[in-house]
Structure 1
Amino acid sequence: MRYVAIGDSFTEGVGDERDDGRTRGWADLVAAGLAAHHHPAEVWYANLAIRGRLLEAIVHEQLDAALALDPAPTILTLNGGGNDMMRPGADVARLRALTAEAVDRCLRAGVTPVVLAGADPSDRLPFGRTLHRRAAELTDAAADLARERGTPFVNVFADAEIREARYWSDDRLHLNPLGHHRAASLVLTALGVAAPPSPPADEMLARSGRLAEAGYYWRHVRPWMARRLTGRSSGDGRDAKHPSWVLVEPVVNAAEA
């Protein structure tokens, strides 16, 4: 099996950083779960997701690279549109058309596409109502598209548990390690594979914590607004973390998860 993930910060794994600063995230955990399920058969993994990417770049750059991998992928997870919906004038119909283009290209190439609706951070964001409305519209459109094409759809957006504060990083926009484990469990369950073990509770307490509102706006909202005003992205200058196939070692105990 060869599994490739494309998307933005959600799929890159932002919020689930290892001690050396590298991101892990739900897609890495899905790859490990697939490796454990298919062991001793080999599972290879690539992750082309880059934080800050808009859906058009995901479909017209990352998907091109994913389908050009040699050997070709077996399965591809697609999530995107979150950054588009945070910008003025977001066009849900256009995002739906881009998603349909990606799904159809995968199907023509003989690759199984798995479409994800990302987790819903809107409860604690200053622009949450608008973001929730747009994301709900895109989720409905993606669900309809998956039904039409007969492809898997994982609705992380509709998962009530993952909306709880304990699953989110202090920026309130990205999942923390526990949240990424929850998302991975939803994906693996949809694929008929056992979910990975969750991280210990004491680890989560060490990585979590509430900031005062003033500190939150200074540390997280202010830099985001500055990037919007200057046309920059958090992903500028970044490369994909796994641009080519890497062999996944199956997880054998919780300490390795």
Structure 2
Amino acid sequence: MSDSSQEHADPGRPVTVRQGLHPWNRFVAIGDSFTEGVGDPEPRNPGGLRGWADRVAEELSEGHPEFTYANLAVRGLLLRQILDRQLGAAMALRPDLVTLSAGGNDLVFRGSDPDRLANDLDPAVGELVATGATIVLFTGPDWGSTPVLRHNRRKVAVFNENLRTIASRYDGVVADLWALQQLASPTMWDPDRLHFSPLGHHTVAMMVLKSLNVENSLSPSEPKTLPASSWKEARTDDIVWAREYLAPWVLRRITHRAPVQPLVAKRPEAGPVFTAGVWDGGAARKRLLP
């Protein structure tokens, strides 16, 4: 890589790749609702969602006309389902950049063993790395301040350490949601407290690009300060949330009720980030709020 594509830095610091000169030509995202973009609606996008993965792809496509992107993520899937349904399809697309986020539904709603999950994930990462692709793995966020979900905090922390070990073994990149302090703000989350808001997805996209050492045009957006609430108000909010969001979600999984129509990936084939009939990126995208 020429000197013009690097920033002058002290020895030992990661080299930052300028936005249009990164080495990747095809990005494939694997996962569940987090990667699908639930919580970040955009009617002009495939599937009606944007999300952090689309936002990353948008930035990686700038100044890179041959860049293509596929998103195979489907909401609600467990780790083994993601690997069984998406790993082969992803490899068939011959990506040189893959993001893989899986295991969150297992830990939070099934109480799964984090070591067993890591044992299932390890060989899958090995298969992806063997293709020569750059692999990005995600630690789980810290749900310590979220009622009900906080009891899984220790398991998430153990799983995160296993993920770091896997990433180190295969020279992968870690996108560290646990360390992303901005996620402590309620404005980063959808009202269901399970998915990120548009601001949350924007913040995660910035973190992923930083993890890849790629310069980008995204700017930090500070969440609004929320008014202080009393203990009684906070408790009422928790009860309403559990009744309207958590209980129905858990019931659907306990009864194994399938959706009326099978859910499919919003971008099953690799193609340009911005296509005719979707929406024109460029200036229009720049005007969008996080």
Do they fold alike, i.e. is TM over 0.5? yes
Q: Separation in 1 of the partners of 2:83 and 2:243?
A: 33
Match of 2:146 in 1: 124
Cα deviation for residue 240 of structure 1 reads 0.3
Q: Does 1:79 align with 2:101?
A: yes
CA contact (8 A) 1:50 1:235 kept: no
Q: Separation in 1 of the partners of 2:100 and 2:261?
A: 21
Q: How does 1:18-37 map to 2 (within 5 A)?
A: 18-19=42-43, 22-36=48-62
Alpha carbons of structure 1 residues 84 and 150: separation in structure 2 relative to 1, 3 Å: same
Cα deviation for residue 88 of structure 1 reads 4.0
Match of 1:161 in 2: 182
Cα deviation for residue 139 of structure 1 reads 0.6
Alpha carbons of structure 1 residues 184 and 106: separation in structure 2 relative to 1, 3 Å: same
- Give the length in aligned residue pairs: 247
Q: How does 1:92-107 map to 2 (within 5 A)?
A: 92-107=114-129
1:226 paired residue among 230, 242, 251: 251
Alpha carbons of structure 1 residues 16 and 167: separation in structure 2 relative to 1, 3 Å: same
Q: Does 1:137 align with 2:163?
A: no
Cα deviation for residue 118 of structure 1 reads 3.5
Q: Separation in 2 of the partners of 1:17 and 1:51?
A: 14
Alpha carbons of structure 1 residues 174 and 223: separation in structure 2 relative to 1, 3 Å: same
Comparing 153-162 with 113-122, which one deviates more in the overlay?
113-122
User: What RMSD over aligned residues (CA atoms) do the two structures have, in Å?
Assistant: 2.6
Alpha carbons of structure 1 residues 235 and 243: separation in structure 2 relative to 1, 3 Å: farther
Instruction: Using structure 1 for the length normalisation, give the TM-score.
Output: 0.86
Q: Does 1:112 align with 2:134?
A: yes
Q: Separation in 2 of the partners of 1:87 and 1:172?
A: 14
Q: Separation in 1 of the partners of 2:220 and 2:179?
A: 20
Alpha carbons of structure 1 residues 224 and 122: separation in structure 2 relative to 1, 3 Å: farther
Q: Deviations over 1:159-194 (max 9, x none)?
A: 122122120111111110000011000100111123
Alpha carbons of structure 1 residues 107 and 127: separation in structure 2 relative to 1, 3 Å: closer
2:207 paired residue among 174, 186, 191: 186
Match of 2:170 in 1: 149
Alpha carbons of structure 1 residues 201 and 150: separation in structure 2 relative to 1, 3 Å: closer
Q: Separation in 2 of the partners of 1:251 and 1:97?
A: 42
Match of 1:237 in 2: 262
Cα deviation for residue 199 of structure 1 reads 6.9
Alpha carbons of structure 1 residues 233 and 79: separation in structure 2 relative to 1, 3 Å: farther
Structure of larger gyration radius? 2
Q: Separation in 1 of the partners of 2:261 and 2:159?
A: 25
Alpha carbons of structure 1 residues 126 and 148: separation in structure 2 relative to 1, 3 Å: same
Q: Which has the higher contact order (CA 8 A, sep 6+)?
A: 1
Q: Separation in 2 of the partners of 1:64 and 1:235?
A: 26
Cα deviation for residue 200 of structure 1 reads 9.5
Comparing 135-144 with 117-126, which one deviates more in the overlay?
117-126
Counterpart residue type for residue 97 of structure 1: N
Match of 2:231 in 1: none
CA contact (8 A) 1:16 1:177 kept: yes
Alpha carbons of structure 1 residues 174 and 240: separation in structure 2 relative to 1, 3 Å: same
Match of 1:50 in 2: 74
Alpha carbons of structure 1 residues 226 and 142: separation in structure 2 relative to 1, 3 Å: same
Alpha carbons of structure 1 residues 150 and 46: separation in structure 2 relative to 1, 3 Å: same
